[in-house]
Amino acid sequence: MKLIGSLTSPFAQAAAARVNPLGKVPVLVLDDGTALFDSRVIVEFLDNASPLGRLIPQENRERIEVRRWEALADGVLEAGVLARLEGQREAKLRSAPWTERQLGKVRAGLAAMDSELGDKPWCAGNGYTLADIALGVCLGWLEPRE
């Protein structure tokens, strides 16, 4: 297996474009050449590759709770990335209302996370799951950009 992924490298994205028609990273290329994308598909594949240490529960409601956290964290990240990319455009091309719309999603998403996590030690259920990873990655990406 080969994982193609990078936050910044145009070379990684050129490699991704050859195996992912959407041209996005991450892409996981399996030994038989099958290219898996996007990150949700990759994480499900890897989680099912071993019976040990499952990050996504099997039971339907528990599973959906975890995947809902993942969707929330991914949505906040996607809005944050879009706002950041807009800020990198030429000043005359930037749209302040559009940027504010994305930042509104970031703020609303963070408020929902704060309220739903509350004082709980874990996002979902009684232990570490993909939900905690998704939240941690999201907050880790946003933190230096606050």
Ligand X SMILES: N[C@@H](CCC(=O)N[C@@H](CS)C(=O)NCC(=O)O)C(=O)O
Interface contacts to ligand X, rule CB under 6 A = 13, 23-26, 38-40, 74, 81
Q: How far apart are CA 91 and CA 6, in angstroms?
A: 26
Cβ distance to ligand X smaller for residue 40 or 68:
40
Q: How far is the CB of 22 from ligand X (least distance, A)?
A: 7
Q: How far is the CB of 138 from ligand X (least distance, A)?
A: 12
Cβ distance to ligand X smaller for residue 26 or 109:
26
SS (H, E, C) 57-86: CCCHHHHHHHHHHHHHHHHHHHHHHHHHHH
* Rg (alpha carbons) of the chain, rounded to whole number: 17
Reading the block at residue 93, the tokens are 């091309």
Contact 43, 36 (CB under 8 A): no
Q: How far is the CB of 11 from ligand X (least distance, A)?
A: 12
Q: How far is the CB of 31 from ligand X (least distance, A)?
A: 21
Contact 59, 126 (CB under 8 A): no
Contact 96, 87 (CB under 8 A): no
Q: Which amino acid is at 92?
A: K
Cβ distance to ligand X smaller for residue 39 or 102:
39
Q: How far is the CB of 13 from ligand X (least distance, A)?
A: 5
Which residue minimizes CB distance to ligand X?
38
Cβ distance to ligand X smaller for residue 61 or 145:
145
Cβ distance to ligand X smaller for residue 38 or 47:
38
